[in-house]
Amino acid sequence: MTPATMQMGFYDRTRSGRLILTGRDSRDLLHRLATNSILGLSPGQGVQCCFCTNKGRMIDNAVVLDRGDDLLVLTGNPERLSGHIQQYTITEDVTVRNYMAVELVVCGPRAKSVLGVELEPFCFTEVPLGGVKVLVARIQPLAGDAYSLLAPDAVALRRMLATEGEMLGPESIRTLRIRNRIPTHPNEINENYNPWEAGLEDSISLQKGCYVGQEIVARLNTYDKVKRRLVALRLSAPCAEGQILEHDGEPAGQLTTVEGDLALGYVKSELAAPGTRIGPAEVVETPF
């Protein structure tokens, strides 16, 4: 079964990391750091947002879930993000700690029916699965709807999921990311790039108040100063991650994730249209 025909797949995302924020000032502080609105959330709701340096460069693209008594952050860069939050914690009542749990991602057309949930994007609930109580959060699409499952013990949960679908290996996960143009830390999400370049428009609110890096992020959009774009590419020759792409003899982009004849990469904005050839690569429309 290939990623293109998969009905349901799952993989382990435990090593990516999760943070818990507690304290009476945690929502206000995170709101002042995130590119999207945190204060408008109610328990059971969540939002995807970026966290940036004061120069508008990405530290992380995370999902923040409001659990009422605390905020749960699904992060790809937990140590750096935790340090960033603590850097701006001065007199605020905020505590940041790691959230210890197994995290599995389930995706595909059958995911919703197998999990037995009906959720709006980035909302979550708790359901019994595989004999354990599991927090299920709907996250960004990946081969159809995708869900993050958090549980204290996932042995029985993995066994249950394996009867309904296939466990995805690294190659399949990279292929799905490329087909859906989904950036991840550290390949595409790092302090070399800003959220607009990574195509994370849905993670940015242009209506909320100030946050760290907001002036630069807003200016890039207002004055159309985004010089690079993350694109999916089809390769006509073997290439490696980090390889520079040239156009008319000049550097024009760089590959960030490669799997077979597919890749993600940042290219000059004027070369980001589907069908454009850049050396051994051709820009393709996503999702595909």
Pairwise CA distance, residues 247 & 16, whole Å:
35
Statement: residue 84 has pLDDT above 50:
yes
SS3 content of the chain, % helix, strand, coil (to 5): 20, 35, 45
Contact (Cβ atoms closer than 8 angstroms) between residue 273 and residue 231: no
Q: What is the DSSP pairing of strand 262-268 with strand 9-12?
A: unpaired
Statement: residue 60 has pLDDT above 90:
yes
What is the mean predicted confidence (pLDDT) over 5-23? 93
With pLDDT > 90 as the criterion, what percentage of the chain qualifies?
93
Q: What is the DSSP pairing of strand 228-235 with strand 18-22?
A: unpaired
The neighbouring-strand residues paired with 49 are: 62
Rounded to an integer, what is the distance from CA 89 to the centroid of its chain? 25
The neighbouring-strand residues paired with 261 are: none
CB hemisphere CA count around 114 (13 angstroms): 24
**pLDDT 10s digits, 227-285:** 999 999 999 999 999 999 999 999 999 999 999 999 999 999 999 999 999 999 999 99
pLDDT-derived band at 209 (thresholds 50, 70, 90) equals confident
3-class DSSP state of 282: strand
Identity of residue 272: A
Sign of CA dihedral 272, 275, 278, 280: positive
Identity of residue 169: G
All structural domains of the chain with their residue ranges: 9-14+101-179, 201-284
Nearest to 59 by CA among 175, 200, 180: 200
Element housing 287 (H / E): none
pLDDT-derived band at 1 (thresholds 50, 70, 90) equals very low
Superfamily of domain covering 9-14+101-179? Probable tRNA modification gtpase trme; domain 1 (3.30.1360.120)
Q: Which residues contact 224 (CB under 8 A, 6 or more apart)?
A: none
The neighbouring-strand residues paired with 95 are: 22
Superfamily of domain covering 201-284? Aminomethyltransferase beta-barrel domains (2.40.30.110)
Q: What is the DSSP pairing of strand 166-167 with strand 9-12?
A: parallel
Helix boundaries (H) for 63-110: 78-87
Pairwise CA distance, residues 55 & 151, whole Å:
37
